[in-house]
Amino acid sequence: MGGRTSEVSAATSNVLLESAYFTRGGVLLTARRLDLHTEASHRFERGTDPEGVDRAAARCAQLIAGWAGGRVLSGAAGFGEAPSRRWVSVRPSRASALLGYPVSADAAVEVFDTLGMTNRTDGDRIEVEVPGYRTDVDREVDLIEEIVRMRGYEHVGSTLPRAPHAGGLPEGYAFARKAKDVLVRAGLREIRPVPFVSVEDLAMFGDTDAVEVANPLRAEEGFLRTRLTPGLLRTVARNQALGVDRAAIFEVGTTFRLADPFREYRKAGFALCGPAGEGWAGERRNLDVLDAKGVLQALLHDLGVHAWTLGGVPAGPFHPGRSAEVLVAGAHVGVLGEIHPRVAEDLGIAGRVAVGVIGLRAVGEADGRPFVFADVPRFPPLRRDLAFVIGEDARAGDVQTALEEAAGDLLGGCILFDVFLGGSLPRGYKSLAFAVDFRAPDRTLTDEEAQAAVEAIVDRLRADFGAELRAG
């Protein structure tokens, strides 16, 4: 970097000029290793002319003599020689294929002659000698670039050449984009944080297989993320710190796990926090895990996954009574739940915050039902409100699944609208009330047909769960 004893000042009378050439790779690696970047290092990193060392020294001496009244002493010491010039070959046929219009050998030779680049023809190739100052010419494609630059870009056609493969996005990227579209329609906004996390973020889930980053953007974020949840929570906290109380965000991104050398997993995650509605007409409540479940249900439905359930409590910073694993065909594909209040408080988040994350590859490999397009139903449904007394430990999701299977083809829809405990119910029991629509595509159902379906549901739930239909 130089110093006070070697710098030029008003009292300087003697100056020793040094003109040198340094290899690009060596300067680049050394500057990064020492974290020492100068104007000279940037110039040598980009490449300089090894043949211009003597000319540069002579020109500098001439300027000092002409502008500062200096006197140039005779004599110069030299060491080393400039590397020999490289020869790069180009094929006119390859240039024609790449540019999309015919390029003859004579036209290519004319371009190189104009640029003062010595060339010779060897069969179907033109070999070009690269001058020292052309550090940007290394490959055949660089010479093709010179051809189109000198002849004019207007010769390049405006129509795309025929591709040997089908258009469109690859299947994995298309599936990820579809997930994004669903989450946008659900009212969420996309975020794109950097995929780096800190030791504290890894400790949130106890992950020990994170990939360490050699040159992180921030010293405290020295690992590639293993999960999407920490980034979602940090974004919610940052929004609240800036006065944005309501956060409904999502990210479709990649996580990394240490392997041989590492593995990538594409996931979709979202977070909900703050008031459910805004303005005087908005709902006077905060977003919670049930809102997150609705988002998850819409996401899985539009991705073609219908047979999914909620399992046990997931590991990590989740509330034990308001979280569950997401299962498809019995296999773990994600998590859903509210973050424990103590964890949210430590992150600077006020109020409840619900998070959902699924693995897109695991979901994409699940056997989903194909989408069926049908006309709007012409005939009205018959609705029956069915309330069942059932054991308190029975899960409402399992009960609803069994109910829908028992209803068969006549089922038009089923919604759980009430859960009741206490009152006249025996200890250890609860009441689950479902609004069930029965519908046929070709006729209006009779009361007898609807009643037969109700009896099938009652028999199924009694056999599976010991449930009894409440009278009245």
Domain residue limits, the chain: 13-83, 86-155, 171-364, 382-469
Which one is the CATH code of 86-155: 3.40.50.720, 2.30.110.10, 3.20.20.70, 3.30.56.10? 3.30.56.10
Query: Residue 341: phi, psi to the nearest 5?
Result: -55, -35
Residues 6+ apart with CB under 8 A from 410: 438, 439, 440, 445, 449, 450, 453
Per mean pLDDT, which range of 7-16, 50-59, 62-71 is the poorest?
A: 7-16
278 confidence band (pLDDT: 50, 70, 90): confident
Radius of gyration of the chain from Cα atoms?
36
Q: What is the mean pLDDT of the chain?
A: 90
Q: Does domain 382-469 have CATH number 3.40.50.2300?
A: no
337 confidence band (pLDDT: 50, 70, 90): very high
What integer is the mean pLDDT of 390-419?
91
377 confidence band (pLDDT: 50, 70, 90): confident
In single-letter form, the type of residue at position 147 comes to I
What's this model's pTM, rounded to 2 decimal places? 0.64
Per mean pLDDT, which range of 125-139, 241-255, 272-286, 320-334 is the poorest?
A: 272-286
Q: If you count them, how many residues does the chain have? A: 472
Q: Does domain 171-364 have CATH number 3.30.930.10?
A: yes
